[in-house]
Amino acid sequence: MSEAWWKRSVVYQIYPRSFCDSNGDGIGDLAGITARLDHLQQLGVDVVWLSPVYKSPNDDNGYDISDYRDIMDEFGTMADFDVMLAAMHERGLKLMMDLVVNHTSDEHAWFQQARRSRDNPYHDYYIWREPKDGREPNNWEAAFSGSAWEWNEATGEYYLHMFSRKQPDLNWENPKVRAEVFEMMQFWLAKGVDGFRMDVINMISKPYRADGSLPDAPVVRPGFLQPGFGLVTNGPRLLEFLREMKQQVLSHHDGITVGEAPLATITQGVEITHEDSGALNMLFQFEHMELDSVAGHPNGKWALKALDLRDLKATMSRWQDALHGRGWNSLYLGNHDQPRPVSRFGDDERWRVESAKMLGTWLHMMQGTPYVYQGEELGMTNMPFASVDDLRDIESINVYQVAVGERGEDPAQVFAAILAKGRDNARTPVQWDATPNAGFSSGRPWIAVNPNCSDVNAAQALADPDSVFHHYRRLIELRRRHPVIVHGRHALLLPDDPQVYAYTRTLGGQTLLVVCNFGDQSPSFSWPAPLRGSRASLLIANLAVAEPAVAADFTLRPYEARVYLCQGEAS
């Protein structure tokens, strides 16, 4: 097992628009990030993943890039970026940029050229198709609703966009596109950045048929457009493109890479992150994010279903076990696309602090590189949006219009799904203190601040040794001290228990035992037979536990989490 630095690291994700606003325009910015680096240093993270800061018309908050080598006006200048990067490096923090190269903005110079004429040198940078029977070339629905094809009058063709119509997909079959992307990556590496998070990277190879057409997706919602994502993820040339990127760019730097890979299977995960033959360090896989939606439902993530903890155990364990010693993975419960974990998997009212700590413990003791999304370390919760007018996210706004306006679904039910799963939940401003606008901005924030900011904020959390923040800090510290947390072999206990999630990690004669209560009942826990009578010390817990800890059965309190280090092997 090689000792790569990114295996020992913890990553903190910054969504710059909502992190900290330094100039009072209501939008977070780079100088705001620089001003708040103490917070990250106190938490003890190693790497920052910065969501896109490039020039963008903001149809999708920066995931629609119009210039890869310049900074978004609202976020500052390249000089601000250089100052921020130097400040991070001075503190020993590394910086991972967001690489969004499945698509550009339609305002990117390449697309502006490409759409002019069929013989423009940039035309082939994008994916164009003739109408089929006078209409869109196939039945795919874009991620942000509507057809995945948009008509372009000047060339008499449609272009493909898997997200909004302002995010045309790049044509990776064209070697010039790949060369442009690789050069752009070199540009940022030459500035000193330490790696890339790759946006929907497993969508770059499209499933062309021999005649160049793109097949219809299976019909799951008769009479409407169909989700096409199952067809465009993990395409035939994906691994080849990634290996080329590795050979041209990544292999020359000791950086960190994580590929966002919706619908990736474990086989693909092993292939892409394989220690010898893979191309990326780790993936963001989505299986555990899909367990609280009805499988196969045409409404996708919006078709809500209560999580069955046994499904989470089965999914996580399959990934933990399959990658051990072969590949690597990221560990995450939240990011800018997901609701807040404490609201989704814990209890964000009575047991907010306990359940936020439990979830952090559960995640950070697993095998992989943990990611902390801004505000997660404070136990920030979902947002009680009052109406559709308060939403800012293109995905939620469009899905509401289409589901209610076109498909005639019940508005209350659609809004309830948005409250539970909408991306704006994670995008409300970071709550720094109890001053107006939670200390995020002196101006009017671009999206409302969560009203619980007077209780839930960083100033309060730092001052309270029992806060979620200090618990996360201790979890991060433990990873640094105990190789078993980084490299131990995982084994699931109690696969059929619907409330207690327990697992072990084993390395060199030591076993880490992690026991988490995912509910508000008080179940009992019996020590696994091989560890009975072994010497055990309590490494961390979210509730006071009487010392000295001995290997004795115990009753768990609501949302309790305990981690023991035992001398001896459990498996």
Judged by the rule CB under 6 A, the positions of this chain that interact with ligand NOJ are 60, 63, 100, 163, 199-200, 260, 336-337
| CA pair distance 518, 498, nearest whole angstrom | 9
Closer to ligand NOJ at the Cβ: 161 or 178? 161
287 is catalytic: no
Closer to ligand NOJ at the Cβ: 100 or 270? 100
- Provide the terminal-to-terminal Cα distance of the chain, rounded to the nearest Å: 19
Instruction: Name the minimum Å distance from CB 126 to ligand NOJ.
Output: 15
Instruction: Name the minimum Å distance from CB 228 to ligand NOJ.
Output: 14
Q: Are 179 and 110 in contact (CB under 8 A)?
A: no
Q: Which residues contact 404 (CB under 8 A, 6 or more apart)?
A: 410, 411, 414
Of the candidates 141, 260, 347, 395, the residue annotated as catalytic is 260
Which of 210, 262, 255 lies closest to 236 in space, CA to CA? 210
Of the candidates 199, 292, 377, 395, the residue annotated as catalytic is 199
Helices (H), 324-453: 341-345, 352-364, 394-400, 411-421
Instruction: Name the minimum Å distance from CB 524 to ligand NOJ.
Output: 41
Q: Are 44 and 473 in contact (CB under 8 A)?
A: yes
Closer to ligand NOJ at the Cβ: 158 or 163? 163
Instruction: Name the minimum Å distance from CB 166 to ligand NOJ.
Output: 11
Sign of CA dihedral 564, 565, 568, 569: positive
Instruction: Name the minimum Å distance from CB 326 to ligand NOJ.
Output: 26
260 is catalytic: yes
| CA pair distance 109, 115, nearest whole angstrom | 10
- Pairing state between β 94-99 and 195-198: parallel
Residue at shortest CB range from ligand NOJ: 63
Closer to ligand NOJ at the Cβ: 56 or 452? 56
Instruction: Name the minimum Å distance from CB 102 to ligand NOJ.
Output: 7
HSE (CB half, 13 Å, CA atoms) of 502? 20
**Burial of 233 from C-beta contacts in 10 A (0-12 / 13-18 / 19+):** buried
Q: Are 179 and 125 in contact (CB under 8 A)?
A: no
Closer to ligand NOJ at the Cβ: 200 or 414? 200
Closer to ligand NOJ at the Cβ: 60 or 292? 60
Q: Are 68 and 184 in contact (CB under 8 A)?
A: yes
Residues belonging to the active site:
199, 260
